[in-house]
Amino acid sequence: MKITSRRKNVLIGVGIFLAVLLGFWIVLRDRPPRYNEPLAGQSGTSSADDPALRGMWPDKVDQDDTTLMMVAFSGGGSRAAAVGWKTLETLRRIPYTFTADGRQVESNLAREIDLVAGISGGSFAAAAWCLCGGDLAPFQKRFVERDIQSTLARNLFSSKGVVAAFSRRYARINFAAELYDEEVYERKTFADLPARPILRIHSTDLALGRRFTFTPDTFARLGSNLGNYPIGYACAASSAFPILLTPLTLRNFGPPLDLSQDVEYVLGKKNARTDLNADLQTKAWEYYNNKTNQYIHLADGGLVDNQGLQSILDEFETNGIINRRINYSNIPLKRLIIVNVNAGIAGENRSGRSPSPPSIASVVESSMVSSMDVLSARRWMDIRDKCIEMFKAAIDRGADTPSLSQLEEPYRIEVSFRNIRDPELRRRAMALPTSFKLSPEQLALIDKVVPELLKEDPELKRLQASVEKTK
């Protein structure tokens, strides 16, 4: 068969194109992203080594020693980041007065925050608060008001996108992580965090289907150092929503730890028969200790806890921060304040109006978002029950138990669109998108409703009355 000149040129062109693709594949297929680094010296792990747990009390000099305040920021993309940002901005404007060394200190409620937990979009606000030293204006400009979505999409067609297309290690999530690291958090790492507030960024370990929290303890189980890991990468892992973004990968370094010397593990195994959480926890530690599992793949934290409330519940457990603060009797705990910042939305589900089975999108919505909202509601109720139980103990034994003697009924403050009283405003808030982009009008809506939600919250009113009374 005779090949025409034109056909020959096409074949040569296709050949060159395939050769270029092959070249890219050969050069880029093993191009690694930035991974977590191994610990300089391998050592055993203990929660007691966690700097967050050392020297928790007394508080920082500008904080009220008798108050423990924790805030959980939910997921929800830029909407959640903006709701978190506005909540913090509003808390900064709420006066908080306390007495220290016999003198009255004029402060604000945001400064009292001891721990912030963030999930997905909420992790960006949580991290920003810990790093910003009280000034959220840079975060507002770099993230809240920015069209992150378009920047990420543009990266697909940049040199980074080419690398992501050919590398089996460097994926789309990595250029998101680099963007957050370089342009939102100025290359800050966990070592740059202050001692207070404590930051808890959560993601989901896809192999275990469990929450993965960026703490020194968790990283030590991977033989890794959290200190030099970028905050922006942790936020990327926390917000790596399946399909839209690839999971973010961590390295799991050897050698394995001697778990027989790990008291939490040994007791966890002993409790596993009756305590399912202990059973799952020890299994997770065994998984990390099996160093043939060289890589840990992390996805959006919202897959297992979309409001970060499990993070607060954990602190009620034995040796958790709330538990240890209750038992710390040198300075009795007076106020436990928990703020649930929930940027969740609930659009109308119309699938019941049609005999046709729900669409794939509707099924995903029901199975991944709506069911998680039900679980989160349960967790918020569990926190209420823990607070009630704790306060009852203070009523029963407070007089002869120094640590409980001053305790007021714990405060549970909730920022949630469900509490917006104006039906039209509520409808508009509930229709806000879950994306990494908000229009000025959408931001203005958040700017309006969040301060009102806080102002009208009965628990915040009760707290403000108590603060006023003790002036």
Partner 1 sequence: MEYIIVEIKDQPNVDAEVLINRQPNGRTGVLLTLGGSGWILVSVDWPGAEEQEVEVKNTTPQHAMNVTIQCG
What residue ranges bind partner 1 (CB under 8 A)? Answer: 46-48, 53, 263-264, 267, 270-271, 274-275, 278, 316-320, 323-324, 326-329, 386, 389-390, 392-393, 396-397, 400-404
CA distance 337 to 315: 13
If the CB atoms of residues 317 and 456 are measured against partner 1, the closer one turns out to be: 317
CA distance 407 to 420: 31
CA distance 345 to 433: 9
Residue located via tokens 């009620």:
316
**At closest approach, how far in Å is the CB of 396 from partner 1?**
4
If the CB atoms of residues 110 and 115 are measured against partner 1, the closer one turns out to be: 115
If the CB atoms of residues 52 and 88 are measured against partner 1, the closer one turns out to be: 52
**At closest approach, how far in Å is the CB of 271 from partner 1?**
4
If the CB atoms of residues 97 and 401 are measured against partner 1, the closer one turns out to be: 401
**At closest approach, how far in Å is the CB of 384 from partner 1?**
14
> Do 84 and 307 contact (CB within 8 A), yes or no?
no
**At closest approach, how far in Å is the CB of 276 from partner 1?**
12
- DSSP state at residue 357: P
If the CB atoms of residues 53 and 383 are measured against partner 1, the closer one turns out to be: 53
Which H/E stretch holds residue 198? strand 198-205
**At closest approach, how far in Å is the CB of 59 from partner 1?**
17
> Do 305 and 383 contact (CB within 8 A), yes or no?
no
CA distance 257 to 223: 8
Neighbours of 259 (CB within 10 A): 18
**At closest approach, how far in Å is the CB of 320 from partner 1?**
6
If the CB atoms of residues 108 and 323 are measured against partner 1, the closer one turns out to be: 323
25 residue type, one letter: W
**At closest approach, how far in Å is the CB of 223 from partner 1?**
21
**At closest approach, how far in Å is the CB of 277 from partner 1?**
9
CA distance 171 to 464: 48
Could you tell me the CA-to-CA distances from 306 to 212, 302, 370, 377 in Å, in that order?
A: 13, 4, 10, 10
**At closest approach, how far in Å is the CB of 444 from partner 1?**
43
If the CB atoms of residues 35 and 391 are measured against partner 1, the closer one turns out to be: 391
> Do 436 and 76 contact (CB within 8 A), yes or no?
no
184 residue type, one letter: V
- DSSP state at residue 170: S
**At closest approach, how far in Å is the CB of 328 from partner 1?**
7
Provide Rg for the chain, Cα atoms.
25
3-state SS string over 171-197? CHHHHHHHHHHHHHCCCCEHHHCCCCC
CA distance 158 to 142: 21
Neighbours of 141 (CB within 10 A): 11
CA distance 123 to 197: 14
CA distance 12 to 34: 38
If the CB atoms of residues 108 and 271 are measured against partner 1, the closer one turns out to be: 271
**At closest approach, how far in Å is the CB of 399 from partner 1?**
11
Q: In this structure, what token pair is assigned to residue 184?
A: 């939102």
If the CB atoms of residues 141 and 270 are measured against partner 1, the closer one turns out to be: 270
If the CB atoms of residues 336 and 443 are measured against partner 1, the closer one turns out to be: 336
Which H/E stretch holds residue 128? helix 121-132
If the CB atoms of residues 131 and 407 are measured against partner 1, the closer one turns out to be: 407
68 residue type, one letter: L
